């Protein structure tokens, strides 16, 4: 079942399976209805993601591909206004909520805010929708996520001097993920190439106003200190103050779920509390995911993954089957035999030069077909059988047998332990670490 997790203010509902003509709704056999507050599907991808990151023709093709498999789509349906959650739960067997994060967090400096305050998300939505943005010569953007970086790059395209102020460190080698900016590292690097100035480990201590108009900010160095309860306290260091002259301050410190129509499900929280499979805690038959999920990193791939897991969970819920996920242990590099793999360079995505990054042109393009094929050949298939026949060919005792049926998952190899002497040659010469040698311990006359 396709996921609506990337769709702003969207929710999907599942009816009993039904056949119409030759189309089965959709891939798992259920009819899916998608309701959205917007006139078109796409949500934040359509309303706030700049075209230089996601070309509109690509988005249109992808949404059309999903709709063509038989999803019923109803635009201009606002939860809490046009339909209630109770009505949906009464009419449908399962409900999935994917509203995204549409309400900006409150921001001020000692209770003071500029008279012309704009949030980063609202400015991005305005720019994507109508192609305009406030004309400023200089701006300070507060935040370290993708929205902050996107807005910084958009403002740079207008010729503005742009500064990003963040409590976190720039993403680079040696910086732990929990201490780095949440923005995608390559986006940060590209923004730096385009002239955006980043002030890491900094916060705003004071707004410098002339009347109600911002003329500058006083920055101060910030440090993260652990509290006894395990939380982090961000404290300023006196004596590290510096003044930055800008004419606009824009907070981009994140958003929370707009609770309208979902108050009872949210229970006062800014995000949905769900398990691994998207079940909303204490609300059977209701699932949620995407940006609205507690702990979401705010990525498209993460939202798609949430949708896939929720689809499997909904299928299990409707059939009365418990879903579970098999988590295989990671294969360490020293378990692979790299002698069987040719060295090959990583394919590099095409990247526009700084001078070419104007308008809506896609900055980082996708790999072309032969690059994709070359990348697939670089895969080690860690822990997966390659059906290379090494174990069968090299076994000195002929204790590895091969059945008539050819299988790619290793199931057509059979080990005859009556003849195996445990030399370990098969494991050493297995390219992908699929064969593992383990010691057998004798306890009370039984192998364990």
* Amino acid 130: pLDDT: 83
Q: Enumerate the CATH 3.50.50.60 domain ranges in the chain, comma separated.
A: 10-102+257-319, 104-255
The pLDDT tens digits for 363-394 are 999 899 999 999 999 999 999 898 899 999 99
* Amino acid 22: pLDDT: 31
DSSP-derived 3-state class of residue 103? strand
| CATH architecture for segment(s) 104-255 | 3-Layer(bba) Sandwich (3.50)
Mean pLDDT over 119-136 rounds to 88
> CA 15, CA 10: separation in Å to the nearest integer?
17
As a whole-number percent, the residues of the chain with pLDDT over 70 amount to 92
Report which DSSP code applies to 90: H
- Are 39 and 53 a contacting pair, CB within 8 Å? no
Across 265-362, where does the E strand assignment appear? 286-288
As a whole-number percent, the residues of the chain with pLDDT over 90 amount to 65
Mean pLDDT over 48-67 rounds to 92
Topology (CATH level 3) of domain 10-102+257-319: FAD/NAD(P)-binding domain (3.50.50)
Strand bridging mode 94-98 / 286-288: parallel
Mean pLDDT over 80-109 rounds to 92
Phi, psi (5° rounding) for residue 199? -115, 95
Q: Is this model's pTM higher than 0.85 or not?
A: no
Q: Name the token pair of 391.
A: 């174990």
- Are 238 and 222 a contacting pair, CB within 8 Å? no
Q: Which of 57-71, 103-117, 131-145 has the lowest mean pLDDT?
A: 103-117
Which residue would you say has higher pLDDT here, 395 or 446?
Answer: 395
The CATH number of domain 329-448, selected from 3.40.50.300, 3.30.70.990, 3.40.50.1820, 3.30.70.20: 3.30.70.20
- pLDDT greater than 80 at residue 91: yes
* Amino acid 356: pLDDT: 92
Mean pLDDT over 198-222 rounds to 94
Strand bridging mode 161-165 / 138-142: parallel
Report which DSSP code applies to 292: G
- Are 71 and 28 a contacting pair, CB within 8 Å? no
> CA 153, CA 123: separation in Å to the nearest integer?
12
Angle (CA) 377 380 382, round 5°: 145
Q: Enumerate the CATH 3.30.70.20 domain ranges in the chain, comma separated.
A: 329-448
> Torsion-angle region of residue 444: left (phi > 0), alpha (psi -120 to 50) or beta?
left
Produce one character per residue of 200-209: b if its CB has 16 or more CB atoms within 10 Å, e if not.
bbbbbbebee
- pLDDT greater than 60 at residue 7: no
DSSP-assigned beta bridge partners for residue 216: 208
The pLDDT tens digits for 140-170 are 999 999 999 999 999 999 999 999 999 999 9
Q: Name the token pair of 10.
A: 């969207």
- pLDDT greater than 50 at residue 447: no
* Amino acid 26: pLDDT: 52
Which residue would you say has higher pLDDT here, 174 or 408?
Answer: 174
Residues 6+ apart with CB under 8 A from 246: 138, 139, 140, 161, 163, 214, 215, 216, 217
- pLDDT greater than 90 at residue 440: no
* Amino acid 12: pLDDT: 59
Mean pLDDT over 353-365 rounds to 89
Q: Which of 200-204, 226-230, 354-358, 391-395 has the lowest mean pLDDT?
A: 226-230
- pLDDT greater than 50 at residue 65: yes
Which residue would you say has higher pLDDT here, 327 or 122?
Answer: 122
- pLDDT greater than 50 at residue 4: no
> CA 298, CA 256: separation in Å to the nearest integer?
11
Residue 198 vs residues 128, 139, 190, 364: alpha-carbon distances, Å: 24, 12, 12, 21
> CA 86, CA 92: separation in Å to the nearest integer?
10
- Are 237 and 222 a contacting pair, CB within 8 Å? yes
DSSP-derived 3-state class of residue 347? coil
- When the pLDDT of each residue in the chain is averaged and rounded to a whole number, the result is 87
Mean pLDDT over 115-128 rounds to 88
* Amino acid 405: pLDDT: 79
169-178 contacts at long range (C-beta below 8 A, 24 or more positions apart): 169/200, 169/201, 170/198, 170/200
Q: Which string of DSSP letters, residue by residue, matches 216-265?
A: EEEEEEEEEEE-TTS-EEEEE-TT--EEE--S-EEE---EE---TT-HHH
Mean pLDDT over 285-311 rounds to 92
* Amino acid 11: pLDDT: 58
């Amino acid at each position: 079942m396709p996921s609506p997790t990337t769709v702003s203010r969207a929710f999907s509902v599942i009816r009993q399976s039904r056949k119409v003509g030759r189309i089965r709704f959709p891939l798992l056999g259920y009819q899916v209805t998608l309701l959205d507050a917007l006139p078109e599907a796409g949500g934040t991808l359509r309303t706030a993601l700049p075209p230089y990151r996601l070309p509109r023709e690509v988005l249109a093709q992808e949404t059309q591909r999903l709709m063509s498999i038989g999803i019923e789509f109803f635009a201009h349906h606002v939860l809490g206004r046009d339909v209630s959650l109770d009505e949906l739960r009464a009419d449908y067997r399962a409900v999935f909520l994917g509203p995204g994060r549409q309400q900006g967090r409150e921001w001020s400096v000692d209770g003071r805010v500029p008279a012309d305050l704009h949030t980063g998300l609202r400015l991005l939505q305005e720019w994507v929708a109508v192609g305009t943005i406030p004309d400023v010569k200089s701006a300070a953007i507060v935040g370290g996520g993708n929205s902050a970086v996107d807005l910084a790059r958009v403002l740079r395209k207008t010729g503005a001097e742009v500064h990003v102020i963040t409590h976190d460190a720039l993403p680079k080698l040696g910086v732990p993920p929990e201490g780095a900016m949440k923005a995608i590292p390559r986006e940060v690097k590209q923004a730096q190439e385009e002239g955006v100035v980043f002030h890491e480990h900094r916060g705003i201590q004071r707004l410098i106003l002339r009347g109600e108009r911002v003329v500058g900010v006083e920055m101060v160095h910030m440090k993260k200190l652990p509290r006894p309860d395990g939380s982090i306290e961000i404290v300023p260091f006196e004596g590290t103050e510096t003044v930055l002259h800008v004419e606009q301050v824009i907070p981009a410190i994140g958003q929370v779920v707009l609770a309208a129509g979902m108050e009872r499900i949210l229970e006062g929280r800014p995000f949905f509390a769900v398990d691994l499979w998207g079940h909303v805690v204490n609300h059977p038959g209701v699932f949620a995911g995407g940006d609205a999920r507690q702990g979401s990193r705010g990525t498209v791939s993460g939202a798609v993954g949430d949708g896939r897991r929720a689809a499997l969970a909904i299928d299990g819920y409707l059939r009365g089957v418990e879903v579970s996920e098999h988590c295989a242990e990671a294969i360490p590099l020293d378990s692979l035999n790299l002698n069987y793999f040719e060295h090959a360079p990583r394919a590099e995505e095409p990247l526009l030069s700084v001078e070419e990054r104007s308008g809506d042109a896609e900055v980082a393009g996708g790999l072309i077909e032969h690059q994709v094929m070359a990348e697939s050949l670089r895969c080690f298939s860690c822990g997966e059988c390659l059906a290379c026949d090494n174990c069968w060919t090299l076994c000195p005792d002929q204790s590895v047998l091969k059945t008539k049926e050819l299988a790619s998952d290793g199931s057509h190899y059979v080990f005859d332990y009556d003849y195996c002497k445990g030399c370990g040659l098969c494991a050493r010469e297995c390219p992908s670490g699929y064969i593992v040698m383990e010691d057998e311990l004798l306890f009370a006359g039984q192998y364990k």
